[in-house]
Amino acid sequence: MKKLFKNIVIVSLTILALGFSNTAFAGNKDRSGQAGATELLINPWASTAGWGNAGMSSVKGVQAMWSNVAGITSTNTIDLNFSYTSWLQGSGVNAYSFGFLTRVSESVVGGLYVMSFNPGEIYRTDTENPDMTLGTFKPSLMNINVAVAKSFSNSIHAGFVLKIISESISDMVGTGFAIDAGIQYVTGITDNIHFGITLKNIGTTMKFSGDGLTFISNPGSFFGSELTVVHRADQFELPTQLNIAAAYDFNFTNGSRLTAAGNFTSNSFSKDQVTLGLEGAWKEFIVLRAGYTIENGIWNDIELDECTNVNNGLSLGASVQAPLGEDMKVAIDYSYQDTHHWNGTHTIGARIIF
């Protein structure tokens, strides 16, 4: 009965994912730039960004809340993660993230992570002052994510993430809500075969409101006074995404491991991508990663219509993990993702695992 239940869950989620991929997840490059809140597509965790998100099916720990929430079920007691991202290094855009997980029961793990995206200072201008003499302002973009996942058996794990999205400047704000859902299936003699499906950023449309949408107009003497005019802001959709992933662990007798992984990403507002990656570990003390993300037009110039995603091509990463006492481990992670312009995206993080 338990085996039958697992098979029903797997088949049902696969059918659901394929249904989304044939409708909302068309991967239409002609819709590029039409979605908002695209910071949701930026992976803030170095340990998974280092191989281009290829490990969606085998990801574990705090970083699984972004990649595939089902992976948080591997947490023993508490898992903490701190991360800093220099996005498109040289552009002055940075992201700061903090997340933690805790085991709620024998089969349930809950967690929270916050990502604050800092685009830097932007000059204020208007029609009468286009020469950037009005000072600057700082946009604020923040995502708050609450996750819950459950192990239904030793082989099948599933969960979801509730996202609260906030984007604002001093006189305008936009708020939205979204959900991620993910499943991981583990099989093989040594649990070395992994499969995963993730649906990301399924949620409400967003719309900006506030005094920043108003301006003073003087229609002339006919009305006899100034008028406050309010612009109507249009709604925009979230960058929904489907991921189907698989991985295989080659476990060696000396405690080393080599994992080959692949991930297919269907984007609703840009072209689909395929990521292939390798992760090698020596007794889990030193871990090296490499990945490559492929899409149509990847080798074209960024100014051409065929090149629409900034995150593609080579990814590299490394982690150093060491025990600190009997029940605690500390890890330092680094990742690099190649980009067409600027000097790539660099992420560094620290993890504490109990």
Q: Which of 227-241, 264-278, 330-344 has the lowest mean pLDDT?
A: 227-241
Q: Which pLDDT does position 126 carry in this prediction?
A: 77
Three-state secondary-structure class, residue 119: coil
Percent of the chain with pLDDT over 70: 85
Tens of pLDDT, residue by residue over 133-152, are 788 888 999 999 999 999 99
Q: Which two tokens stand for residue 14?
A: 């696969």
List, for residues 107-117, the tens digit of each pLDDT value.
Answer: 999 999 999 99
pLDDT tens digit sequence for 280-303:
999 889 999 999 998 877 766 655
Name the residue type at position 61: G
Helices and strands (DSSP H and E) totals, the chain: 3, 19
Q: Indicate the burial class of 231 (C-beta count within 10 angstroms; 0-12, 13-18, 19 or more).
A: exposed
pLDDT tens profile 182-236:
999 999 999 999 999 999 999 999 999 888 887 777 765 555 567 777 778 889 9
| CB contact at 8 A, 339 and 309 | no
Give burial (CB, 10 Å; 0-12/13-18/19+) of 351.
buried
Distance of CA 184 to the CA centre of its chain: 17
pLDDT at position 147: 98
Q: What is the dihedral of CA 216, 219, 221, 223, to 10 degrees?
A: -80
Query: Rounded CA gap, 333 and 46, in Å?
Result: 6
Class in CATH terms, 2-353 = mainly beta
74: helix, strand or coil: helix
Dist. CA 338–CA 265, nearest whole Å: 18
| % of the chain at pLDDT higher than 90 | 59
Instruction: State the first-to-last Cα distance of the chain, in angstroms, to the nearest integer.
Output: 34
Distance of CA 13 to the CA centre of its chain: 21
What backbone phi and psi angles, to 5 degrees, belong to 40?
-65, -20
pLDDT at 12: 47
Mean pLDDT across the chain, nearest whole number? 86
The predicted pLDDT at position 29 comes to 63
Contact between residue 275 and residue 265 where contact means Cβ atoms under 8 Å apart: yes
Query: pLDDT value at position 303?
Result: 58
R_g of the chain computed on alpha carbons:
22
174: which residues sit within 8 A by CB, 6+ positions away?
A: 36, 165, 166, 167, 168, 206, 207, 208, 209
Whether residue 106 is predicted with pLDDT greater than 50 in this model: the reply is yes
Higher pLDDT, 77 or 5: 77
Task: Give residue 269's pLDDT.
Answer: 85
Domain residue spans of the chain? 2-353
Render pLDDT for 18-76 as a digit per residue (tens, 0 to 9). 444 444 444 566 666 778 898 999 999 999 999 998 999 999 999 999 999 999 999 99
